[in-house]
Chain A
Amino acid sequence: MDITIKINGKDTSFSGVDPAMPLLWALRDELGLTGTKFGCGMAQCGACTVHLNGNPIRSCVLPLSAATNADVTTIEGLSEDGSHPVQQAWIEEDVPQCGYCQSGQVMSAVALLNQNPTPNISEIDQFMAGNICRCGTYPRIRKAIQSAARKLA
């Protein structure tokens, strides 16, 4: 069965794949979009966060069939050149250490600011609860989200 998904603005067809396959593996193994990361495979860590019709989802548990005809944005599609205000804030606040979780963190942060342009600290903590950073960059992520919010205001 063929499944068509609009990924980063481009209609992309998958043919002959298992419709139960999580979107994550289609992005990474089939399309080579490796910016979206594997961390747990059970929606516990957020490393695989992408946007489905603008909403943040964990692509490691979303079956391909559930994304049929949807609009998917990955970290690669957020901006052409890293100019999204959240990406800029991440650079300015020097957020990453190893960097592995940061695609997911950025995608969650963008979704947060789309829904709530002026989040307070507890709202940030709560919204970002699904994204694990093993290196402990949380204080810098909080700062970067606040700084991106100011930029977007």
Chain B
Amino acid sequence: MMKISNCSRRDFLRATGLSTTGLIIGFRAFQTPMNAAPMAVAAANAFAPNAYIAIGQTNGVTLAISVPEIGQNIRTSFAMILGDELGADIKKVNLHQAEPRNDMIRQVTAGSGSVRNCFDGLREAAATARDMLIAAAATEWGVPVDQCRAEDSFVHGPGGKKIAFETIANAASKQPVPTAPQLKPASEFKYIGKAQRCLDTKDIVTGKTKFGIDAMPENAAFAVVLRCPVSEGTLTSYDDSAAKKMKGVKDVVQIGDKVAVIANNTWVAIKASRVVKINWDLGKNADVNSETQLEESRKAVLSNAPTVMQKGDFEAAFSSSPIRIDQEFFVPMIAHATLEPPNGTAWNKDGKFEIWGSSQTLNNLYKDKNAKRGQDLPSMTGLPHDKIIYHQMRIGGGFGRKLANDYVEESIQIAKQVDYPVKMIFTREDDLRHDRYRIPDYYRYQVGLASNGYPGAIEERSVKALNKKKQKQPSKVMRYFSDQIRKHKPVRAGVQGGALRAPGHNITSFVEQSLFDIMAEKSGIDAIDYHLALHGDGDAVGRLGWKRSPQDEPIICELLKTIKEDSGWKEDSDFGYGLSTFSGYGSHCAIVALVPKRGGKRPVEKVYAAVHCGRVINPLGAKAQIEGGIIDCLAATLYQKVTLKNGSIEQSNFHDYKMLRMADAPDVEITILDSNDAPQGLGEVSYPPAAAAVTNALFHATGKRITELPIRS
């Protein structure tokens, strides 16, 4: 649990150089010591008890949203958490997207961690402010604090007395800081657990919301960047004379091995970029081809992958197994294709830098201790934090792409060379060809089962395209088997890899859950029954005649029973039913997909999901994440693949990198199990299992087993 530390106002002011009349309490940061926070924005004359909350005398409560908003609806969830603990009316709370700092719990959107890592700390920050507001009002009224409560942005006292937060804020700032503020019991929650519409929707549907790409400083120029088509290739020479002659072109500048064309508008920049003549040295990756990569991988899994792990005696157990499976899987490279392409706006003015970014990781921009070298703003700009103003904008889709801050850095590199603000955007072609891809995986499994389907022996051979010889973790499927052997071989990727929604899991879950379906099928056992037995359901274990279950996962069993009922499992003979489960990010998910046996309106008619994610903050937002994860994964499962030819990505835009469109989107019905456990992650949990739910359903609808994605290549 995060604790509020009691750091004196004087220390904080000295550290930040701020001068206000309010009390400021240091909030002990996530793994980082409290020190200078030069970019701190604290409203003058505000009661600002920590980095999260400021209560001004004119504008009321402001909540700093620590983590980037990428559509996980964190602004609304955090407002709800604050609203309950502070006793604030969330309709009146101003939401401020926090700049990179070092005194907040977490400033990264990744690992489905926004709520689960910040819930306790944000509540404590709010409870501190609430107790100080109440203490100030109680003092003013001369009544005991236990006769006062905070609600609807007022402190209420005996006899119908009430005073607005902003009115008592200044007095509150003079109150002692509570050392251990009491958190409210769940029974007093007014917002948490109840459906709350997104607080930003009105701005979104009126076009007022500013995404990174919408940053528009006065007199901004617009840039596009020419990058070597092959990863790690270098710039030999370029001729910009034709480009510079074009009307509206302001400058052409070199940034490392790239060339940026800057113009009065984006259109001119794009047009001019087409007439820059460039010679590249394509470098060592120019011989990488997806086709040969696939062949090499296939050969490697069949023959020369070295053993990396061994437990028990696979050979003996496998050869004596009455049911034997030998199955290969291939999961291709895919791109993020965020609808807002990567972009950055920067202004190098008078020895200072002002930057507008839509980054998924402000921790890296600040230089969190886990940040990658050179990825922080001081390294990028060459300036200290107090000479940098960074505006975090709403992100038009992240999915992991915007964890790399290459686009922020490029915009800074351009702006360094000119004296006016520049907005740099990736065209869609740039985006698809210069992504941080989910790189491909190739697997081969040999599995031996007892005649009743009990999992006995497994051999996993995997090939992953990697640039570094990193040891890959065994996939989770191994833990269901007693005798196992693992062989692994890396091959050259030829591109930069990166995190894509549920990284790792989005491949291994497909493989594991396809394998379970094959195991159930070869054993003649219904998939739900088989999963129940695998995950420890006593009745199913008995029915199948197993001595015991390989795992004990009661939540998964509960989800299996729930989804069996919700989906009307195998009741409609017009459909194939496919099952898949996943645990990760603290949450658990079971999915059933229905695929029509013939014809049908959609490739997948309907999807059911049952989820356990601890306490739900906002059921509407939670269901949006689960639904979105499934549909996102369906796009990859049905259509998506990027390929390399001579080191260059072959796809260029949405005509050859197919996105899911409305007619392909199934309706999704979701059940979330009630829970009072700590809230867990939801941004990723439904993505990994969705692929196998669909391909398993397709098998049960048509008899065709999909082991290579995408389905429609």
**Is the CB–CB distance between B206 and A99 below 8 Å?**
no
**CB neighbours of A97 from chain B (8 A):** 71-73, 624-625, 628
A125 to B624, CA, bound (A): 19
**CB neighbours of B270 from chain A (8 A):** 41
CB distance from B199 to the nearest CB of A (A): 10
Which single member of B197, B267, B394 contacts A98 (CB below 8 Å)? B394
A37-B213 in contact given A96-B204, A135-B628 (Cβ < 8 Å): yes
Q: Which residues of chain A from 1 to 60 have a CB within 8 Å of any chain B CB?
A: 17-18, 21-22, 25-26, 28-30, 32-42, 44-45, 47
**Is the CB–CB distance between A25 and B205 below 8 Å?**
no
Interface size for chain A: under 10, 10 to 19, 20 to 34, or 35 or more residues? 35 or more
- Majority-rule SS of B interface residues: loop
CB distance from B195 to the nearest CB of A (A): 8
A35-B207 in contact given A98-B396, A137-B628 (Cβ < 8 Å): yes
CB distance from B395 to the nearest CB of A (A): 6
- The verdict on B201 contacting chain A, using a C-beta distance below 8 Å, is yes
A143 to B621, CA, bound (A): 16
A29-B665 in contact given A96-B71, A96-B198, A135-B632 (Cβ < 8 Å): no
**Is the CB–CB distance between A21 and B265 below 8 Å?**
yes
Interface centre among B201, B208, B667 (most CB of A within 10 A): B201
Q: Which residues of chain A from 115 to 153 have a CB within 8 Å of any chain B CB?
A: 122, 124-126, 128-129, 131-142
**Is the CB–CB distance between A125 and B266 below 8 Å?**
no
**Is the CB–CB distance between A25 and B659 below 8 Å?**
no
A45 to B202, CA, bound (A): 22
**CB neighbours of A131 from chain B (8 A):** 662
A112 to B653, CA, bound (A): 26
- The verdict on B347 contacting chain A, using a C-beta distance below 8 Å, is no
A140 to B659, CA, bound (A): 18
Interface size for chain B: under 10, 10 to 19, 20 to 34, or 35 or more residues? 35 or more
**CB neighbours of B339 from chain A (8 A):** 37, 39, 45, 47, 98, 100-101, 132-134
Q: Which residue of the partner chain A has the closest CB to B196?
A: A94
**Is the CB–CB distance between A102 and B73 below 8 Å?**
no
- The verdict on B697 contacting chain A, using a C-beta distance below 8 Å, is no
A29 to B201, CA, bound (A): 24
CB distance from A55 to the nearest CB of B (A): 19
**Is the CB–CB distance between B397 and A135 below 8 Å?**
yes
Which single member of B213, B268, B341, B628 contacts A136 (CB below 8 Å)? B628
CB distance from A32 to the nearest CB of B (A): 5
A135-B71 in contact given A35-B206, A35-B207, A94-B201 (Cβ < 8 Å): yes
A106 to B264, CA, bound (A): 29
- Contact string against A for B residues 310-340, beta-carbon threshold 8 Å, 1 for contact and 0 otherwise: 0000000000000000000000000001111
**Is the CB–CB distance between A134 and B662 below 8 Å?**
no
Give the tally of cross-chain contacts (CB within 8 A): 192
**Is the CB–CB distance between B205 and A82 below 8 Å?**
yes
A62 to B620, CA, bound (A): 38
A99-B624 in contact given A38-B425, A87-B205, A136-B632 (Cβ < 8 Å): no
Q: Which residues of chain B from 175 to 217 have a CB within 8 Å of any chain A CB?
A: 197-198, 200-202, 204-211, 213-214, 216
A94 to B200, CA, bound (A): 10
- The verdict on A71 contacting chain B, using a C-beta distance below 8 Å, is no
**Is the CB–CB distance between B213 and A91 below 8 Å?**
no
**Is the CB–CB distance between A87 and B662 below 8 Å?**
no
A100-B624 in contact given A25-B267, A47-B339, A125-B663 (Cβ < 8 Å): no
CB distance from B338 to the nearest CB of A (A): 6
CB distance from A34 to the nearest CB of B (A): 4
**Is the CB–CB distance between B201 and A91 below 8 Å?**
yes
**Is the CB–CB distance between A96 and B654 below 8 Å?**
no
**CB neighbours of B202 from chain A (8 A):** 82, 87, 91
Interface centre among B71, B216, B337, B425 (most CB of A within 10 A): B71
A137 to B270, CA, bound (A): 31
**Is the CB–CB distance between A40 and B653 below 8 Å?**
yes
**CB neighbours of B396 from chain A (8 A):** 37, 98-100
- The verdict on B155 contacting chain A, using a C-beta distance below 8 Å, is no
- The verdict on B427 contacting chain A, using a C-beta distance below 8 Å, is yes
* 4 more CB-based (< 8 A) A-B contacts, given A76-B206, A136-B665: A25-B265, A37-B213, A40-B428, A135-B397
In the complex, the 7 A-B pairs of residues with the closest C-beta atoms, listed nearest first: A35-B207, A136-B631, A100-B396, A98-B71, A138-B665, A97-B71, A75-B207
Instruction: Enumerate chain A interface residues (CB-CB to B < 8 A).
Output: 17-18, 21-22, 25-26, 28-30, 32-42, 44-45, 47, 74-76, 78-79, 81-82, 87, 90-92, 94-103, 106, 122, 124-126, 128-129, 131-142
